[in-house]
Amino acid sequence: MALSATTTIAFKTVNTQICSRNFLPPQRHLPFSSSLSSSSFVRTVSARAMELERKNPPVIDENGVLKKGIAEFYDESSGIWENIWGDHMHHGFYPPDSTVSLSDHRAAQIRMIEQALRFASIPLEDERKWPKKIVDVGCGIGGSSRYLSQKFGATAVGITLSPVQAQRANALAASQGLANKVSFQVADALDQPFSDGQFDLVWSMESGEHMPDKAKFVSELARVAAPGATIIIVTWCHRDLGPDEESLKPWEEKHLKKICDAFYLPAWCSTADYVKLLESLSLQDIKSEDWSPYVAPFWPAVIRSALSWKGLTSLLRSGLKTIKGALAMPLMIEGFKKDLIKFAIITCRKPE
Ligand code: SAH
């Protein structure tokens, strides 16, 4: 994405809104000691992005770049994310009326995993029915795989496009004594290196939004699922279209395009589109829910961490892709607020 004045203005506006509405947990609760003002942040980071862009002008090749772009984006940014946020590269789940701490983001990310398991009706009380073999499609640095493996005593295999992530995920598994249970490799979710019917839990946590062919993505999830297996997809969607609508409004398309360019995402689909795809494969017990209200505190917290001294210095040392991703974060908040972006969970079961 070209670093545009719009992005810069969007950042300033949204960040001002976030701070003035006191939407964020107070700064003292965050694990960062000092922070910059948002305008200094935008000036400094934008200048660095422009300098990097001058040195490496973007290559525009619609067909070839997506996979490479995704791999490079995560190769470049995963270390910073881990350094500041830990090994889960997904939203936290923040119950709105909750008594839980809204500033404990790691707990919120674990809660996201637990809530997803509950929503999918995994029989948590009955050990005999726990999943034994899990595939983590779009695994990041393996946070979900290691957590699920430990929780269920299961084996897990994760796939990612990023060689840096796969290597780090394996290193973390080894350092936690899980090397015999959990492994990670570079592979494409649209052409998975697994034979049919192998896994009794098929897990995709915030990777579906990167998939350029949603039908192929879903059919691969269903193919590698064993009879009776549970499939869990947690992903970014656009709002469902109304009965008289054939597409999103032009401003909505434009808004999503900016996010796509920054985060290496292809065209989005709606939750209803996912449900139709699962129905077309005759999957059972299909359920979906909009979890957008439960993730609202997440992006403001990520922005707050980017405004911290540690966040800013890490960003400036990172590459252009990471910086552009950071500058696009307010667009996510705006998209949620305008009901354009939905944080969706969709689950189902493969027939026995
Ligand atoms: N599920 C992880 C990481 C989410 S980030 C977590 O919750 O921590 C998105 C992940 O999807 C990245 O690891 C990225 O490499 C992966 N991904 C995107 N497109 C992919 C594809 N076509 N095949 C495999 N992995 C993909």
Domain boundaries, the chain: 77-350
Name every residue whose Cβ is closer than 8 Å to that of residue 286 and which is 6 or more positions away in sequence: 275, 278, 279, 346, 347, 348
Q: Residue 233 corresponds to which amino acid?
A: I
Q: Which of 210, 295, 302, 345 to mutate to test the pocket of ligand 1 (most atoms within 8 A of CB)?
A: 210
* Range with the poorest average pLDDT among 164-168, 204-208, 215-219, 300-304: 300-304
Q: Please give the pLDDT value at position 103.
A: 84
Query: For residue 176, what pLDDT band results from cuts at 50, 70 and 90?
Result: very high
Our answer on whether the CB atom of 89 is closer than 6 Å to any ligand 1 atom is yes
Tell me the mean pLDDT in the region 5-30: 32
Tell me the mean pLDDT in the region 40-44: 65
The distance between the two most distant Cα atoms of the chain, rounded to a whole number of Å, is 58
Query: What is the residue with the minimal CA distance to atom 6 of ligand 1?
Result: 89
Ligand 1 atom nearest to CA at 165? 13
Average predicted confidence (pLDDT) for the chain: 86
Q: Which of 11-15, 93-97, 100-104 has the highest mean pLDDT?
A: 93-97
User: Is 8's pLDDT higher than 50?
Assistant: no
Q: Where are the beta strands (DSSP E) in the chain?
A: 133-137, 155-160, 182-186, 199-205, 225-238, 284-290, 341-349
- Ligand 1 centroid–CA 176 distance in Å is 22
User: Is 28's pLDDT higher than 50?
Assistant: no
User: Is 56's pLDDT higher than 70?
Assistant: no
Query: For residue 349, what pLDDT band results from cuts at 50, 70 and 90?
Result: very high
Query: What is the residue with the minimal CA distance to atom 9 of ligand 1?
Result: 207
User: Is 243's pLDDT higher than 60?
Assistant: yes
Q: Please give the pLDDT value at position 141.
A: 98
Q: What's this model's pTM, rounded to 2 decimal places? A: 0.86
CATH superfamily of 77-350: Vaccinia Virus protein VP39 (3.40.50.150)
User: Is 108's pLDDT higher than 80?
Assistant: yes
- Ligand 1 centroid–CA 203 distance in Å is 11
Q: Which of 5-9, 15-19, 33-37, 219-223 has the highest mean pLDDT?
A: 219-223
pLDDT tens per residue across span 295-344 = 999 999 999 998 888 888 888 888 888 888 888 999 999 999 999 999 99
- Ligand 1 centroid–CA 136 distance in Å is 9
Tell me the mean pLDDT in the region 71-83: 94
Percent of the chain with pLDDT over 90: 72
Ligand 1 atom nearest to CA at 143? 8
**Which value, to the nearest 10 degrees, does the dihedral of the CA atoms of residues 273, 232, 278, 338 take?**
-10
